[in-house]
């Protein structure tokens, strides 16, 4: 289900060594080709000498398109030694959701998708359990169950890859999918797997963070959404949020409050990814809002 229709745009994201004249060169390039500049945001990482920029421009009325953009842009990119990517708003991203037994993050994503909040398609939901089939099928989305054990993990991941290829999936969302993905699988989808961790990373990583937090007597709890890397719970962070707690709250209270945060934070991360608002560098993200 797509968001309301808006005029088609191009989204140009770039990273390069910090230098004078980059912003002027980008604006001049777009003006030269008749593009109407809609949004522009930039950030300079002074510690590493890197410059980041996101520019969105209206496609109508300009002579840039998916066919000729690379050749037109190449000389500017080479002059500033840019790593860059361009996305077109008409290309609706295809999202696969992987789930376990817990429904709250999945249900929130489906509700937002049905409400038109997420400009993405959901061709498939995959799980290693049957538990959430009614939730998914009620939304009219195919649901596939691929059970897994330690011995069958390579076979199961190969089956998942085959389905993702068949469905032409652009990115994956782990909506409380309680399985650790192998390094080879992650490598095929680098910066395209979004996870939600029920803790304010890097604190309380791993299993049962609410018990860890309760035992430490914390005064806030949080949730973190990040890209998945081979280092468990250590990938580039996309979104985080916290809520106050006190000595009066039980472990159950912390989990309930945490589920609310998980829904909000995961949805925020997915929206940012879908809108091409994230650049990754030095295992950190630059998020343009």
User: Does the pLDDT value for residue 4 go beyond 60?
Assistant: no
Percentages of the chain per state (helix, strand, coil), in multiples of 5: 30, 30, 40
Arithmetic mean of pLDDT, 67-78: 97
Map out the domains of the chain as residue ranges: 9-88, 93-287
Record the pTM.
Answer: 0.90
State pLDDT tens for residues 203-219: 666 677 778 777 878 78
CA separation, residue 97 to residues 121, 159, 195 (Å): 11, 15, 10
- Regarding the domain with residue range 9-88, which homologous superfamily does it belong to in the CATH classification? ACT domain (3.30.70.260)
Is pLDDT of 155 > 80?
yes
Q: Is 244 a catalytic residue?
A: no
Written as six digits, the tokens of 260 are 């609310």
CA distance 213 to 221: 7
Residue 137: CA atoms inside 13 Å, Cβ hemisphere, count? 9
Distance CA 261, CA 267 (A): 10
Q: Which of 88, 34, 134, 37 is nearest to 276 (CA)?
A: 88
Q: What is the distance of C-alpha 242 from the center of its chain?
A: 19
How many whole angstroms separate alpha carbon 276 and alpha carbon 93?
A: 10
Residue where the block lists tokens 């991941």:
157
> Is 93-287 assigned to CATH 2.40.420.20?
no
- Of 233, 244, 253, 260, the catalytic one is 233
**Residue 8 DSSP SS3:** coil
**pLDDT digits 0-9 by tens, 184-205:** 999 999 999 999 988 765 566 6
Q: Evaluate whether 9-88 and 93-287 have a shared fold.
A: no
Q: pLDDT (tens digit, 9 = 90+) per residue, 97-106?
A: 999 999 999 9
- DSSP H stretches of helix in 15-91: 22-32, 69-79
Q: What is the mean pLDDT of residues 159-172?
A: 97
């Amino acid at each position: 289900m797509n968001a309301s229709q808006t005029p088609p745009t191009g989204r140009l994201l770039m990273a390069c060594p910090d230098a004078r004249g980059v912003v002027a060169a980008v604006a001049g390039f777009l003006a030269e080709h008749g593009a109407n500049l809609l949004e522009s945001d930039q950030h300079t990482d002074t510690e590493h000498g890197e410059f980041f920029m996101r520019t969105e421009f209206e496609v109508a009325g300009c002579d840039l398109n998916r066919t000729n953009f690379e050749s037109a842009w190449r000389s500017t990119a080479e002059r500033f030694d840019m790593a860059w990517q361009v996305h077109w708003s008409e290309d609706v991203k295809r999202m696969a959701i992987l789930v376990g037994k817990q429904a709250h993050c999945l249900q929130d994503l489906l509700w937002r998708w049905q409400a038109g909040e997420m400009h993405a398609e959901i061709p498939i939901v995959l799980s290693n359990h049957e538990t959430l089939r009614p939730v998914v099928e009620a939304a009219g989305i195919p649901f596939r169950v691929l059970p897994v054990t330690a011995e069958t993990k390579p076979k199961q991941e190969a089956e998942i890859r085959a389905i993702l290829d068949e469905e032409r999936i652009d990115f994956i969302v782990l909506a409380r999918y309680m399985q650790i993905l192998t390094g080879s699988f992650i490598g095929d989808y680098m910066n395209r797997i979004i996870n939600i961790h029920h803790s304010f990373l890097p604190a309380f990583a791993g299993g049962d963070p609410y018990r860890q937090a309760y035992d430490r007597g914390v005064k806030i709890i949080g949730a973190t959404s990040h890209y998945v890397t081979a280092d468990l719970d250590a990938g580039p962070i996309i979104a985080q949020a916290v809520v106050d707690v006190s000595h009066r709250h039980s472990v159950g209270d912390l989990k309930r409050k945490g589920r609310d945060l998980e829904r909000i934070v995961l949805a925020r991360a997915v929206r940012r990814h879908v809108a091409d608002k994230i650049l990754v560098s030095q295992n950190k993200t630059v998020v343009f809002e």
